[in-house]
Amino acid sequence: MRLILNSPLDMHLHLRDGDMLKNVAKFSAKDFAGALIMPNLLPPITDIKSLLAYKKRIFEAVREENFTPHMTLFFKSDYTADFLEKAKPYIAAIKLYPNGVTTNSEGGIEQIDTKRLSPVFEAMSELDIPLCVHGETNGFVMDREREFCAIYEQLAASFPKLTIIMEHITTKECVKLLEKHENLHATITLHHLLITLDDVMGGLLNPHLFCKPIAKRYEDKEALLEAALNAHKKVMFGSDSAPHLVSKKECCGCAAGIFSAPIALSALAELFEKHGKLTNLQTFVSDNARDIYKLIPINKPIVLEKKEWIVPAKFDDVVPMFASQTLKWKVKSRLN
Ligand code: NCD
Ligand code: ZN
C-alpha cells in the first residue's frame, strides 16, 4: 500500500544552527517541500542580514535536497514600517514570543499591549505579513495557553486584516477560537495529537516528551484531533520539531522540545489511517498551509509505503520521538 503526499509542508520547525543544523536539517529537507523556520536562535533573528546568512547555512545543510526554508523574524516592538517593507520579500511571517516562556525566548515581548504595539501590527496588516504567536502567559503551566486566549481575541479583533497563527495549540479553547475570529488560524503538532500530560509525567517521567506548551488533558487532545483529522480549513501541520542534545534532555533542568522531524510523516500517516482519515492528510499537511500563507510550494511528491521500520534510538546525540519503536509507514528512499 502506498500513499503519495504532494509537497508536504511543516509550518513550525526549529532547525537550530551549527552542528545541530547539520545533523537535523536533512530529515525535514528529505520529507517536506518546505518549512516555516523559527527564528529563536541565540541571538534571535531580528535583521535581514542575519536572516539571509541563516538561510544560506540552511541551504548548505540540506545540500542537494529540494527544500524551501520559509524564513521568519523574531518579533520586536520597535520594527518600523520601513524596515518591515524591506524585510517583506525575504520572510513568510514574524514570530512573537512572550518574554521567557520557552527555549530562547529571552528578548521576547514583556507585555502584549495591543495599543503600544499597534504600529507594528498595523504595518504587518498593510504588508500582509502573517503574525505567528507562541500563545502562553506566565501563569500556572496547565493554564498558560487558556489564559492567553484573551490576548488572541484582542489581537484578532483589534487587527482584523492581520493574519494571526496561534502556534502549536494544545487546548480545546484555542480550537473554539478558530470559529470566532476569521483572521485566527492555528498550527497543530504531531505530539499534541498523540500525547497528554499523562504520557509526560503520569508514570515515569519522560523528558523526551517534555515540550512547551506542555501536553494537556484528554479532552484537549480530542478537540485537536477532531480539527486535524477532519482537515479543518484553519489548521495546518507544524511539527514544532525542536531538537536538543541528549545531555540537555536527560538531566535536571531538562530543555523543552520534542525532536519529531525524522518520524513526522510516518507517524501522521499511521494516526490518520488509524482514524480512517488518511484521505484528509494531504489537506492538513499541505493544502491548508498554501491557502493560509498564500504560498505555492515546489512540486515534491513524497511517497510513503505501508512498511514497518524501527526508529533509531538516536540521530547523533539527539533522541527522536518514537525512538526504538516500530512505525507502520515509511517514507520511501529515506537517507538511513
Ligand atoms: C521550542 C525550542 O526548543 O526551541 N521548544 C518547545 O518545547 N516547543 C520552542 C517553542 O516552540 O516553544
Ligand atoms: Zn516551536
Q: How far is CA 155 from CA 37, 76, 159, in A?
A: 23, 16, 6
Nearest-atom index, ligand 1, CA of 212? 7
CA gap 310, 325 in Å, rounded: 5
Ligand 1 centroid distance, CA of 156 (Å): 24
Residue of 253, 282, 213 whose CA lies nearest to 12:
213
Contacts of 162 (CB under 8 A, 6+ apart): 121, 124, 125, 130, 131, 155, 156, 183
Please tell me the number of the ligand nearest to residue 239's CA.
Answer: 2
The mean predicted confidence, pLDDT, of the chain is 97
Is the pLDDT at 132 greater than 50, yes or no? yes
Residue nearest to atom 4 of ligand 1 (CA): 103
Length of the chain: 336
The H or E element that residue 174 is part of is helix 172-180
Ligand 2 centroid distance, CA of 215 (Å): 14
pLDDT at 290: 98
Per-residue model confidence as pLDDT tens digits over 29-80: 999 999 999 999 999 999 999 999 999 999 999 999 999 999 999 999 999 9
Per-residue model confidence as pLDDT tens digits over 146-166: 999 999 999 999 999 999 999
pLDDT at 335: 41
Pocket test for ligand 1, best of 40, 104, 258 (most atoms within 8 A of CB): 40
Tell me the percentage of the chain whose pLDDT exceeds 90: 99
Report, as residue numbers or ranges, the catalytic residues.
240
> What is the pLDDT confidence band of residue 1, given thresholds at 50, 70 and 90?
very high
pTM of the model: 0.98
Nearest-atom index, ligand 1, CA of 101? 12
Please tell me the number of the ligand nearest to residue 17's CA.
Answer: 1
Range of the domain at 32: 2-334
- CATH number of residue 205's parent domain: 3.20.20.140
Is the pLDDT at 120 greater than 70, yes or no? yes
Beta bridge partners of 109: 98
- DSSP H helices, 235-287, are 246-249, 264-274, 281-282
Pocket test for ligand 1, best of 11, 14, 41, 209 (most atoms within 8 A of CB): 14
Residue of 169, 218, 193, 320 whose CA lies nearest to 269:
193
Torsions phi, psi for 84 (to 5 deg): -65, -35
**Region 16-22: what's the mean pLDDT?**
98
For residue 277, the 8-state DSSP code is -
- DSSP H helices, 72-143, are 81-87, 118-127
Kindly list the strands in the beta sheet with 9-13, ordered across the sheet, starting from the edge strand earlier in the chain: 9-13, 34-37, 68-74, 93-96, 131-133, 164-166, 184-188, 235-237
pLDDT at 72: 99
Is the pLDDT at 312 greater than 50, yes or no? yes
Please tell me the number of the ligand nearest to residue 10's CA.
Answer: 2
Question: Pocket residues for ligand 1 (CB within 6 Å)?
Answer: 14, 40, 102-104, 134, 211-212, 240, 242, 256-257
The H or E element that residue 194 is part of is helix 191-194
Instruction: Choose between 222 and 336: higher pLDDT.
Output: 222
Per-residue model confidence as pLDDT tens digits over 193-222: 999 999 999 999 999 999 999 999 999 999
> What is the pLDDT confidence band of residue 262, given thresholds at 50, 70 and 90?
very high
**Region 126-139: what's the mean pLDDT?**
98
- What is the domain count for the chain? 1
Is the pLDDT at 334 greater than 80, yes or no? no
Tell whether the torsion through CA atoms of 46, 51, 53 and 54 is positive or negative.
Answer: positive
CA gap 308, 20 in Å, rounded: 28
Neighbouring CB atoms inside 10 A of 199's CB total: 14
* Cβ 15 vs Cβ 25: under 8 Å: yes
The H or E element that residue 292 is part of is helix 288-293
Please calculate the CA angle 191-207-137 and round it to the nearest 5 degrees.
65
> What is the pLDDT confidence band of residue 336, given thresholds at 50, 70 and 90?
very low
Ion ligand 2: residues, CB within 5 A, are 240
Tell whether the torsion through CA atoms of 308, 309, 310 and 311 is positive or negative.
Answer: negative
Per-residue model confidence as pLDDT tens digits over 73-111: 999 999 999 999 999 999 999 999 999 999 999 999 999
Ligand 1 centroid distance, CA of 209 (Å): 12
> What is the pLDDT confidence band of residue 292, given thresholds at 50, 70 and 90?
very high
Nearest-atom index, ligand 1, CA of 243? 3
Name the grid cell of 153. 481575541
Torsions phi, psi for 305 (to 5 deg): -115, 145
